Structure 1
């Protein structure tokens, strides 16, 4: 679905949107592009982002270390996609479901780890039972026990079983997909830019992945296949944000050949800040609506995405761009004349 959305967006941008802009240009013949009545970033904004790069590097390093330590020392809440087990969705026949009663009754069955939670409507319940070690028919036996205990008061709407072998294969495939995505990013950015840009994009992307995993560890959200899809989507979003900044940096490198790199990066980020902010805000609003009204099924996906959008925007500004200074993309100093010229050229887009 996400791939189809990207393809249709690109197609629309190159055809329908282009046609509308061409019609407007032919009819209005504007001398300059009109500005919206409300802008997130005022024209001529000059925020010294590079001046605090050491603080942001330190903050990101601490948070990354805490995320890794938390992942290694705290058991992440894996869903049955990765852990194996049974997932049963039931609906109360009369009135709201009593979670405490369900939990108490199932605990008496001695079927191992049990998780009971409300699932959407007050009368819907999702029951998770951990994987069983008593043989190949153990999962079905557990389902039959649960059905026998609850079927008088509840309708069984869905039953899913994932064995340990399948869950291990899913985890392996998910890890491979993530590594392939990172390698693809490295090759693409290296081909399009210079090696400093490629390494900077990879570091920023890995930073976002580590932060998101840390978010799952701290929040206790269930980590399932949709969570993995969220991480892969965050990788794409973060890369897109980073490429926007890098593209403007590359343009300014050609335009101001002797400008100090920190000042050039500040100009490039400020010039693209309006676009970056607008994209982040609109995406976050859509995700917030899904968090509030999307239901329990996609909650881990939407919360992870919301978190990732914020950190993806942060990393493109405070990680990806400052790394170009660390990698000495341009060690030269600028002449006073060119520096003065550049300061007057920053335009918010």
Structure 2
């Protein structure tokens, strides 16, 4: 199945400057949002206590807030969770008395607010939250370093740098969107960011593989022409893959429930930005880094020559002439 039929070659590189300009604006805007608004760290990273409460009728948020403000839990955040009957209470820090169950404490404190049940209680200490945040940053950094090493080995260092720049572009814009919307950043959001890295890298590697194949097999000496031809050949595949994944994630976002909304939203942004960067940005970075077709072909020819010499020596050894 193809969306873009025929052998039409699109001039992606002829429009790379406007697309790079658009990406620069999005990245700078995302960085500004991150520095001014910051990320809304959840209890996984910031530490604290989360209590999910479901009432039989509409949750009396004002009454809950009034009750809690008269206790040690003053200043707790109380928000709706998916329906009018359900709320989430976020408390900075953990219960002062670890021998008591925070769920039992909430039952006693909120008894006057109506009939309800405690659906979930999560507690993370500030030290554990800090360690999780550090390990999350380390996991993200190690992923980028390993990708850089792998692509350098598999292709050429300019391909590696271009892929890392494209991945950084995707992650920064995704984080900017998360910060703008106020998505709570927990371990599931970190998993979504790492998923975006893998998804975007897969598309980028396929495009780069076609570019390398075009450099090796065609007689074209202009890099822009090779890149346009290669990206055009992968356009249907990239679009179909992105659309099928996009429809699945949209379904999760609208029907998966409040608990995975943040995860699904992050993936939605990542799929859109990752597809855009694979088509318009990754190869543009390669061109901007002045990748040389002549040098690449010379290196490949040298590799083939060395391989033939090894095969010749092996054949002579097997015949007993060496």
TM-score normalised per structure 1? 0.78
Counterpart position of 1:83? 46
SS of the residue 1:298 aligns to: helix
Deviation track 1:247-283 (CA, whole Å, cap 9, x = no partner) reads: 1001100122433111111111110000000010000
Are residue 137 (structure 1) and residue 97 (structure 2) matched?
yes
Verify the 8 A CA contact 2:103 2:118 in the aligned structure 1: no
Structural mapping, 1:220-239, within 5 Å:
220-239=182-201
Separation (CA, whole Å) in 1 of partners of 2:117 and 2:83 = 14
What secondary structure, in the 3-state scheme, does the structure 2 residue paired with 1:258 have?
coil
Task: Indicate which of 54, 57, 72 corresponds to 1:95.
Answer: 57
1:37-76, aligned counterparts within 5 Å?
39-76=2-39
Please state how far the C-alpha of 1:112 moved relative to its aligned partner: 3.8
- The structural deviation recorded for 1:114 is 2.2
1:299 maps to what in 2?
261
Whole-angstrom distance in 2 between the partners of 1:108 and 1:52: 61
Q: Matched residue of 2:109: which SS?
A: helix
Aligned residue-pair number = 292
* Pairing of 1:1-349 with structure 2 (within 5 A): 36=1, 39-92=2-55, 94-109=56-71, 111-131=73-93, 137=97, 145-151=105-111, 153-330=115-292
In the alignment, the residues of structure 2 paired with residue 87 and residue 43 of structure 1 have an alpha-carbon distance, to the nearest angstrom, of: 55
**Contact 1:77–1:223 (CA under 8 A) maintained in structure 2:** yes
Counterpart position of 2:310 = none
Two-structure CA RMSD over aligned residues (Å)? 2.1
CA contact 1:260–1:330 (8 Å) conserved in 2: no
- Return 65-74 or 203-212, whichever deviates more: 65-74
- Aligned counterparts of 2:38 and 2:161: Cα–Cα separation in 1: 31
- CA deviation string 1:20-62 (max 9, x = no partner): xxxxxxxxxxxxxxxx4xx422222322111111111111112
- Range with bigger deviation, 256-265 or 104-113: 104-113
Distance 2:99 2:14 in 1: 58
Q: Which has the larger radius of gyration?
A: 2
Partner of 1:23: none
What runs of 5+ residues in structure 1 fail to find an aligned partner? 1-35, 333-349
Q: Please report how far the alpha carbon of residue 141 of structure 1 lies from its aligned counterpart in structure 2 after TM superposition.
A: 8.5
Q: What displacement does 1:138 show?
A: 7.7
- TM-score, normalisation: structure 2: 0.84
Segment of structure 1 superposing worse, 50-59 or 307-316:
50-59
170-179 vs 46-55, greater mean Cα deviation: 46-55
